Every structure is written in C-alpha cells, then in structure tokens.
Amino acid sequence: SERERQAKELRAQGYEWGQQIRARADRERTVILAEATRQANVLRSQGDTESSRIYNDAYGRDPKFYDFYRSLEAYRKTLTDGNTTLLLSPDSDFFRYFGGGPHQTKR
C-alpha cells in the first residue's frame, strides 16, 4: 500500500541521514583527536626541553647534588610498587647514598 511505501521510504531516508551524521561525527572526532595529539606532543616536547634545561643548570651549579637527586629519582622509579626485589653486589653504585653516613654502625 501507499502508506507502507512512504513509511519504508522515510525509514530509508532516516537511515541515510543517520549514516551521514555518524560519518560527519567520526570525521570531526578524528580531526579533534589528531589536533589534541599534536598539541600534546608539542607540550610534551616543550616540557622535555625545559626539564633538560633545568637539569643541565642544576648539574652545572652542583654536580654532586645533581647526582644525588638523580639517584633518588632512580630509587623512586625502581622501588615504586613495594614488591621489587633487587639482586645487587655489595659494592653496587645503585645505593651509594645509603650508608657511610654519620650514624652507620661498624660490624
């Protein structure tokens, strides 16, 4: 019947419009994500550059403190989860700042 044909035509038209809207939204999403990724990469690069500048400046001012600070960062990154097991020789440089202090007891 005529009504069924019109209903079928309207459903088809609605489906087509839906497809167009979804395609447009997908394109916009892709563009937005690409721009956000680009901006994030630019900001990350700027942050890395600034971080390097600060570290280089710190090293130039006090190399011993810089080495100490970098060791603390290595401890933090390595021992974060609390379940880390390390097998190191007693003369390992990794824990060079742990010991030899004024309160160390002799055995």
Of 16-30, 32-46, 76-90, least confident by mean pLDDT is: 76-90
| Residue with the larger pLDDT of the pair 86 and 26 | 26
Measured CA to CA, the distance from residue 37 to residue 43 in angstroms comes to: 10
Q: Are 89 and 82 in contact (CB under 8 A)?
A: no
Q: In terms of Cα–Cα distance, which of 27, 7, 31 is closest to 19?
A: 27
pLDDT at 41: 98
pLDDT digits (tens, 9 = 90+) for 30-71: 999 999 999 999 999 999 999 999 888 888 888 888 888 888
**Tokens found for residue 25:** 């939204």
What value does the mean pLDDT of the chain take? 86
Measured CA to CA, the distance from residue 77 to residue 48 in angstroms comes to: 18
Residue 82: is its pLDDT beyond 90?
Answer: no
Spell out the domain ranges in the chain: 2-61
Measured CA to CA, the distance from residue 78 to residue 43 in angstroms comes to: 26
> Half-sphere exposure of 44 toward its Cβ, with a 13 Å CA cutoff?
6
Q: Are 94 and 86 in contact (CB under 8 A)?
A: yes
